[in-house]
């Protein structure tokens, strides 16, 4: 697949939207996460709409509060620039576009439930997103240990529950098996380390 000028425009748009955002608890530009998710989608058979949606998958959740017209304005901008398919995928990867965000557990339970009927394009981008997040959590846990959990709104038990529930939901929904298997391996290793530390 050869990527078109739409991809270059999406990259610039995503970089502008997230230019001031950092990865939680770090000094790493948030764009690194969007690039990593985009790469995973490319490597696992995503088409250009899915690849563009990967770059924009957190736009509504993280940037709609500061965009002119809020979430409706940002949805319209994505739709006009990149089309309805991209907008639908981004929407399917968004657990909320309201600010302040609803309670964490309720949001995550609703997100897991919606995966059962999500289109394959949404599943591919979503599992790529969660895989990169899980890899980062695992890598940071190896460096920081239990101090890692302080950077999140939810604690260790809640996050481990969420990622294990995601693995099951993706598997049952028929998400791309290679991505799901890698997410499972990553979450299993995180559980092993974290539960070992919790028991000591």
Residue 95 annotated to the active site: no
Which member of 61, 95, 97, 184 is catalytic?
61
Tokens of 86: 């991209």
Active site residue 62: yes
Contact at 8 Å (CB) between 75 and 83? no
* 104-114 helix and 156-173 helix, angle to the nearest 10 degrees: 10
Phi, psi of 154 (to 5 degrees): -105, 155
User: Cβ(50)–Cβ(41) under 8 Å?
Assistant: yes
Identified catalytic residue from 62, 79, 189, 191: 62
| Catalytic residue positions, numbered | 61-62
């Amino acid at each position: 697949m050869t990527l078109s000028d739409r991809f270059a425009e999406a990259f610039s748009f995503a970089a502008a939207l997230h230019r001031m955002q950092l990865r939680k608890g770090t000094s790493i530009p948030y764009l690194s996460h969007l690039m990593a998710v985009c790469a995973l989608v490319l490597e696992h058979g995503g088409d250009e709409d899915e690849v563009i949606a990967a770059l924009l998958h957190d736009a509504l959740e993280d940037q709609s509060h500061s965009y002119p017209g809020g979430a409706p304005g940002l949805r319209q901008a994505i739709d006009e620039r990149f089309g309805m398919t991209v907008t639908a995928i981004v929407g399917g990867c968004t657990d909320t576009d309201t600010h302040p965000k609803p309670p964490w557990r309720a949001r995550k339970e609703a997100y897991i439930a919606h995966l059962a009927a999500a289109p394959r394009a949404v599943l591919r981008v979503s599992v790529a997103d969660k895989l990169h997040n899980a890899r980062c959590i695992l890598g940071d846990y190896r460096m920081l240990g239990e101090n890692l959990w302080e950077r999140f709104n939810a604690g260790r038990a809640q996050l481990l529950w969420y990622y294990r529930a995601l693995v099951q939901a993706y598997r049952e929904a028929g998400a791309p098996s290679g991505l799901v298997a890698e997410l499972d391996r990553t979450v299993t290793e995180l559980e092993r380390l974290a539960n070992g530390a919790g028991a000591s």
